[in-house]
Each structure stands twice: as structure tokens, then as C-alpha cells.
Amino acid sequence: MKVKVSRKAHFNAAHRLYRKDWSDKKNDAVFGKCNNPNFHGHNYELIVSIFGEIDPETGFVMDMKVLKDLIAHEIEDALDHKNLNLEVPEFAALNPTAENIAVVIWHKLRPHIDDKNTLEVQLYETPRNFVTFKG
């Protein structure tokens, strides 16, 4: 009896898309206004999903309160109201695209999730752009 349980959270942050090893001209050509050197920002909406067996005792796959607190400590504390390029070590040498942010979030959460369960991360950069990573 496998069920996927999902918890929605959010954080907001500044970022800039660019590569240090590219010229300004190439960064502009590829990333357009997302390459603004003064940064821009987003309200990121995050959905974290755990897929696993229902515990027959509690009726939970995972206690949502525990999942909520885990997201708060591991993700919101690390990313909320931050400049992703300047203040989040994972993006020191990694372009903070929605794809890469989702993968980073997955890696930060994975050690805290039961090995038997699957972890999925969905990240909305805007209400019209979003990505999904299952690891």
C-alpha cells in the first residue's frame, strides 16, 4: 500500500544566472536579463514528496509535522531571504537555475529520509515555470 505524501513550503531569494568562466557577452547571450549582475529574485514554491508504505500503526507514510520541520531546518533556513550565488555554498560554482536548485534541495533532504522511501522535489520559480526531480 504505497502512497506519495506531499508538503508545500516556500522561500524567497535573490539570484543571477551566469558562469564565471564565460565572457559577459556569452553570459548575456545565453541567460539574457536573468544575468543581471545586480541580481533579481523569486518567491520559490517548493513541494517535497515522499513515496513509501503506509505505516499500519499510525496510518502515516511520514508524519507531515516532521516533514514540515525538516524542510524548515534543512531548506528554508539555508535558502530563505538569501542571495543564492553569494551566500549558499552549493552555488559557489554551480549556476542557480531552477533545475540545479531542485537537485541541491534533493541532496540536502535525502540523508534525512528513510532509505526505503523515494524522494521527489518540485520547485516553482514562478507560477509559470517549474521543475521536478525524483533523484
Q: Which residue's CB is nearer to a second copy, number 3 or number 92? A: 3
Let me know if 112 is a catalytic residue. Answer: no
Amino acid at 134: K
Let me know if 34 is a catalytic residue. Answer: yes
Which one of 40, 73, 81, 112 is the catalytic residue? 81
Report in angstroms the alpha-carbon separations of 15 from 61, 74, 133.
Answer: 35, 19, 20
Whole-number minimum distance, CB 110 to a second copy, in Å? 14
Q: Which residue's CB is nearer to a second copy, number 12 or number 24? A: 12
Q: Which residue's CB is nearer to a second copy, number 39 or number 74? A: 39
Handedness of CA 68, 71, 73, 78 (dihedral sign): negative
Let me know if 81 is a catalytic residue. Answer: yes
Question: Are 44 and 123 a contacting pair, CB within 8 Å?
Answer: yes
Which one of 34, 74, 90, 107 is the catalytic residue? 34
- The residues carrying an active-site annotation are 34, 81, 125
